[in-house]
Amino acid sequence: MNPISSRYAVPLSLCAEHSPEVVGGKAHNLGRLSAVGLSVPAGWSLTVDLWRAVQEETGLGSEIGRSLSAIQDNPVQTGVILRGLRDHILTAPLPDWVETLVASISEELLAAGPVIVRSSAPHEDGEIRSQAGIYESVPGNRNTQDVLTSIRAVWASLFTERALFYNGGQLPTSMAVIVQRDIKPHVAGVMFTCDPLTGAREPIVQFERASANAVTSGRGACREIRLRDLSGVAGEEDVPPLLTDALLRSASIAERLPGGPWDIEWVWDGDRLFLLQARRITSTEAARITSTWAFEEELSRIYKLDLGKCGDRLIKELRKKIWFRLFCLRKGLCTFRTIYVVYRRSDLPAIVKDISSQLSIPYLRVSWGDRTQRVHLSKLELALAQGMDCNRLADPAYAAAEISEIVPSDMIGFSTVLGDDSIVIEAYPGGAKGTKSGRWPATVYSYGRLGLETIDRPEYDQRAFFDSETMDWVTVDCERYTIDLDEKLAERVAQVTRQFCDAFGEVRLEWYIYNQEIYIKDLTVENQPLQCVPQAATVSPGVASGYAVCLDDISEYDELAERFMISVRHLDDGVASSELVAQTHDLCQQKPIIVVAEYPSIGLASIIQYVHGFVFERCPLLCHLAIILRERGIPAIVVANARSRISTGDSLQIGPDGLSVMPSLMTGTGGRSEEGVQ
């Protein structure tokens, strides 16, 4: 290695000589294992100093500082800001000397087969918290370019909601990276050098054939054995005597190291045991308490609770929802309440009594992570008791759940401040499904200096009501009717909308009206002001040209949205409609496409990677697809009865002046212009 390399890359076998602040906690512990004669796959630690040098030379350090400051200033943008920062890290060019260094340490490792790139943050695998599974590891890298891409992914994994939660609301910015041989396992698993619950000094092994991922992630049906029961005997076909002896020897040696007892990840390649990771068995005391936490309480306390599978739900809330609900509570605004609870069966009567005193609505959604149930408050104790097995914690006497109010709304709606300082309000009947997708037409109001003005008042032929027996909304056909937002409530909606826009920027607010109160449900922050006015034809500004693809029935896209939970912040470009791709295969391959549809189903977001623009017959300004199109810079306009005026294959141009159509050879010749009218 040249002189500059020794500062930035350290062999794993020597990492015990360097502090975790230099090589990271994971690499430091692997160095300690290697130093006492235990087998660790060959590899290197790319040091924290390397990451700092990259930040300085590429400007990433300044970008990180700006992003973290922006989160402090506007926490409801946490998810958006972190995603943008990760994208920046993943795409920023690296200095030439870094690429040369990575190539030099990877060359010998790659000659023996694939390598794995793993996180090694200074605080990872530490004595207080293990940080297990918080940061990225990327196996199967087969060339230097793969390794460089994976190194970026590890650095980027510093900036996730998961890291924010696990680090108590802070985002550490230091990271070392391990590059080492990726051992193909015959058997893999984890070994606890003592019982993590009782502290008994007898090694316990959880294992699975082929990969340890099923064990460490908790998703696999792994097996568990106590090694002393197998010592010197045959009987477990996947744990031969040679492996048993190697595990016992490794446990015995590791226990002599200061800082134990240890949780060790290992692989067996059929002949030899390799240790991949060693972390101190951290305390399970956080699980051994009964506790409830609601949004108005100090966040520092929820960070310390073991929530099991519900931790993932809270992590998603950290993207924005926790922050705007805290804002609601500070401003005296109504929002549906969410409570997290850690409980034992014997504590349930007292816990439910405490929860009941905090709730104002008796209809509840209870989640244990991957299972959700709707219950009435009167049946909450029974539901929590029956659901314990869905999310038991490290101490199996305890479980955790998330409890949220269900608001049986009289009206639901969206609102924002427009460029002329008026408030646009889009309202729908309470319980109407499909409002986010634009399937239901909106009753549109403008609230300005002259008070409330009705822009559009469609008739509805369905009503929804909340069934307290089934705990769900039921939609029924009915005679046509309209809805009305009285001026007093409209004024209140306008005031609340302006409060949020003043606090957080270009907010699109989602709310309920229940018992003449406004309940804030959600918000989306766009990256630029909404210059459109309610009666205009432009939904997303810009100009686009392409060939029309007319979709006569987009119910498939509504079903797609429900199946994959597509929304503004849960958008998967990889979910594409087989119907559209099959129907327009040639056009997709050769020509720009403009989709023509009745309304903006959020399911259409799944195919926007193929589309240059949209023409809708009706489209609320504040529906989810409209927000996504503006965010992505994809033009969209409204043209009444567009599908009767346009045929698939027509050449279209859309923009602020409306629509121009050049029919295909199959439908005629000559061009025509249509002015978009909403």
Q: What is the pLDDT of residues 283-322, one digit of tens each?
A: 544 445 677 887 667 777 788 788 999 998 888 888 888 8
**Whether residues 204 and 339 fall in one domain:** no
* Whole-number Å distance between alpha carbons of 174 and 158: 8
Reading the block at residue 215, the tokens are 């064990």
Contact residues for 446 (Cβ-Cβ < 8 A; gap 6+): 422, 423, 424, 425, 452, 453, 455, 533, 534
144-156 and 78-91 helices, crossing angle to 10°: 160
Q: Which of 276, 296, 321 is the last residue of a domain?
A: 276
Alpha helical stretches, state H, 336-379: 348-358
User: Which amino acid is located at 243 in the chain?
Assistant: L
**Whether residues 519 and 577 fall in one domain:** no
CB 318 within 8 A of CB 164: yes
Other CB atoms within 10 A of residue 640 CB: 15
Has residue 193 been placed in a domain?
yes
Region 328-352 average pLDDT = 92
pLDDT score, position 401: 96
**Whether residues 363 and 427 fall in one domain:** no
- Which helix H or strand E contains 232, and what residues bound it? none
Q: Which of 383, 405, 427 is the last residue of a domain?
A: 405
**Whether residues 240 and 255 fall in one domain:** yes
Has residue 531 been placed in a domain?
no
Reported pTM? 0.80
**Whether residues 83 and 121 fall in one domain:** yes
Unique residue bearing structure tokens 């993932």: 312
Domain count, the chain: 5
Has residue 561 been placed in a domain?
yes
Has residue 533 been placed in a domain?
no
Instruction: Report CA 315 to chain centroid distance, whole Å.
Output: 8
Query: Domain limits at 246?
Result: 187-276
Chain mean pLDDT for the chain? 85
DSSP 144-160: HHHHHHHHHHHHHTTSS
Unique residue bearing structure tokens 């739900």: 313
pLDDT per residue over 500-525, tens digit each? 999 999 999 999 999 999 999 999 98
What DSSP character marks residue 293?
A: E
Has residue 634 been placed in a domain?
yes
**Whether residues 177 and 261 fall in one domain:** no
Other CB atoms within 10 A of residue 559 CB: 12
**Whether residues 339 and 191 fall in one domain:** no
User: What's the CATH code of the domain at 162?
Assistant: 3.30.1490.20
350 CB-side CA count, 13 A: 9
Contact residues for 10 (Cβ-Cβ < 8 A; gap 6+): 18, 22, 23, 27, 44, 45, 47
User: What's the CATH code of the domain at 228?
Assistant: 3.30.470.20
477 CB-side CA count, 13 A: 0
pLDDT score, position 636: 96
pLDDT per residue over 14-41, tens digit each? 999 999 999 999 999 999 999 999 999 9
258 or 271, which is more confident? 271
Question: Rg of the chain's alpha carbons, rounded to an integer?
Answer: 29
Has residue 291 been placed in a domain?
yes
User: What's the CATH code of the domain at 557?
Assistant: 3.50.30.10
* Whole-number Å distance between alpha carbons of 66 and 60: 10
**Whether residues 77 and 153 fall in one domain:** yes
**Whether residues 7 and 114 fall in one domain:** yes
Q: If we measure between CA atoms, which residue out of 276, 352, 324, 661 comes closest to residue 521? A: 324
Region 383-393 average pLDDT = 95
> In Å, how far are 100, 566, 580, 613 from 616, measured between CA atoms?
52, 19, 16, 10
pLDDT per residue over 188-206, tens digit each? 899 988 877 777 778 888 8
pLDDT score, position 436: 66
**Whether residues 171 and 43 fall in one domain:** yes
485 or 434, which is more confident? 485
Has residue 530 been placed in a domain?
no
- The rounded percent of the chain whose pLDDT value lies above 90 is 57
Among 72-76, 363-367, 586-590, the minimum mean pLDDT is found in 586-590
Has residue 451 been placed in a domain?
yes
**Whether residues 10 and 121 fall in one domain:** yes
**Whether residues 436 and 393 fall in one domain:** no
Q: Which of 181, 198, 233 is the last residue of a domain?
A: 181
* Whole-number Å distance between alpha carbons of 255 and 248: 11
